[in-house]
Homo-oligomer: A and B are copies of this chain.
Amino acid sequence: MSKNLKYYYDLMSQPSRALWIFLEKTKLPYEKCLINLGKGEHLTEEFKAINRFQKVPCITDSQIKLAESVAIFRYLCREYQVPDHWYPADSRRQALVDEYLEWQHHNTRATCAIYFQYVWLRPRMFGTKVDPKQAEKYRGQMEGTLDFIEREYLGSGARFIAGDEITVADLLAACEIEQPRMAGYDPCEGRPNLTQWMARVRESTNPYYDQAHKLVNKFAQDTASKAKL
């Protein structure tokens, strides 16, 4: 089954972390190919030949070049021997995982990333100023998504997003929701279901979860320390 799998990633990217945790946890054999986004390594012609979208994460193996984290998750679960719970073969359960994976693009992913980029990343990278009204608008959209997850996905006592076992949906969701912590926002505050679920995802995937979030945790701590000054 060995396919000479190469994984291109940067742990500052949310879906890169999700896939990295998955690869480590399932012990799939793969070659680590770091692409430093901060240094623009994804914008080179060399990388464009690997991924025409010029983004991370992506993979190559003997038969394919593949981008888009959700497509990669599905491919890996199909091609390699990974425990069924990650992406259930059962049609109904798989459909519920799929529904989250598609929904998250314009919800969890979009709203958490936009808030993080506007408040934290862009001012640091491009020196842009933060308009408090615009920040409030983005924060409101993110909170709408987080509240929906708290209520609709986790409100009925479910341990994970698509049932009682962890799936790739939980990995992608948790890694997105960690991101705004760097901008000083605590997604868990006032959301008991989300708090317990985040702890469950972390426990189920440690030590890899913490390893993947090392830099995120450092930046979150820096932001928190500055806020106290």
Q: Which residues of A pack against B, CB within 8 Å?
A: 52-53, 63-64, 66-71, 74-75, 78-79, 91-92, 94-96, 98-99, 101-103, 105-106, 110, 152
Q: Kindly state the separation between the CA atoms of A96 and B138 in the bound complex, as whole angstroms.
A: 33
11 intermolecular pairs with C-beta atoms under 8 Å apart = A52-B152, A64-B92, A69-B102, A71-B101, A74-B94, A74-B98, A75-B91, A78-B91, A105-B105, A105-B106, A106-B110
- What is the copy number of this chain in the assembly? 2
A interface: dominant SS: helix
Q: Kindly state the separation between the CA atoms of A189 and B171 in the bound complex, as whole angstroms.
A: 42
A68 and B106: CB pair below 8 A?
A: no
Which B residues touch A66, using CB under 8 A? Answer: 95-96, 99
The answer, among B68, B103, B152, for a CB contact under 8 Å with A98, is B68
Cβ distance A137 to chain B, nearest Cβ, rounded Å: 16
A71 and B53: CB pair below 8 A?
A: no
Which B residues touch A103, using CB under 8 A? Answer: 53, 67-68
Which B residues touch A96, using CB under 8 A? Answer: 64, 66
Cβ distance A6 to chain B, nearest Cβ, rounded Å: 15
Q: Kindly state the separation between the CA atoms of A78 and B98 in the bound complex, as whole angstroms.
A: 13
Which B residues touch A106, using CB under 8 A? Answer: 105-106, 110
The answer, among B68, B91, B152, for a CB contact under 8 Å with A79, is B91
Minimum-distance CB pairs A-B, first 6: A71-B98, A105-B105, A68-B102, A71-B99, A70-B102, A75-B95
Closest to A102 in B: B68
Which B residues touch A69, using CB under 8 A? Answer: 102
Closest to A76 in B: B95
Additional A-B contact list (19), CB under 8 Å, known A64-B95, A66-B96, A68-B98: A52-B152, A53-B103, A64-B96, A66-B95, A66-B99, A67-B103, A68-B103, A70-B102, A71-B95, A71-B98, A71-B99, A71-B102, A74-B94, A74-B98, A75-B98, A78-B91, A79-B91, A105-B105, A105-B106
